[in-house]
Amino acid sequence: MSPLTHFDAQGQAHMVDVAAKPATHRVAIAEGRIEMLPATLALIASGNSKKGDVLGVARIAGIMAAKKTSELIPLCHPLALTRVAVEFELLQAGNAVACRATVETVGPTGVEMEALTAVQVALLTIYDMCKAVDRGMTINGVRVLEKHGGSRGAGRWGEA
């Protein structure tokens, strides 16, 4: 039997059957960052971008992306999300914007993919809105920080 849950005994891709799993309150938190030129970060901080409020638009994009994750990732279950929060922090020392997404549901499967998708799309939106002034931006460090709920309980990634 494969340790990869999205493959059956014959090695065929399938959607995992979660029908027998209990509905529990589930939370996932993901983060990432986009690095840029100091002038680009200053432009975002000032709110004077030609395209408008960069972080406000990116926040809405991240929320919408979390809600559409099952349409983007073929084997993800469509979920009724109960909460999506997307937050940003301007990191002057690293010329970056950090993004953190918290996603919640009550259901039989976790929301890690939704949190990761929210972060990625929020950061891509920042890139899209600022690429006219900075094509060298890089997105990195996208990862799940922690999850809560389900049979495995709570966990933090990256800890021993």
Q: What Å distances lie between residue 95 and 40, 46, 92, CA to CA?
A: 8, 14, 5
- Taking every pair of C-alpha atoms in the chain, what is the biggest distance, in angstroms? 56
- Tell me whether residue 134 is one of the annotated catalytic residues: no
Question: What span, in angstroms and rounded, lies between the C-alpha atoms of 31 and 150?
Answer: 21
Given 8, 17, 53, 128, the catalytic residue: 128
Strand order across the beta sheet in which 96-107 lies: 81-91, 96-107, 24-35, 138-148, 155-156
The residues carrying an active-site annotation are 128
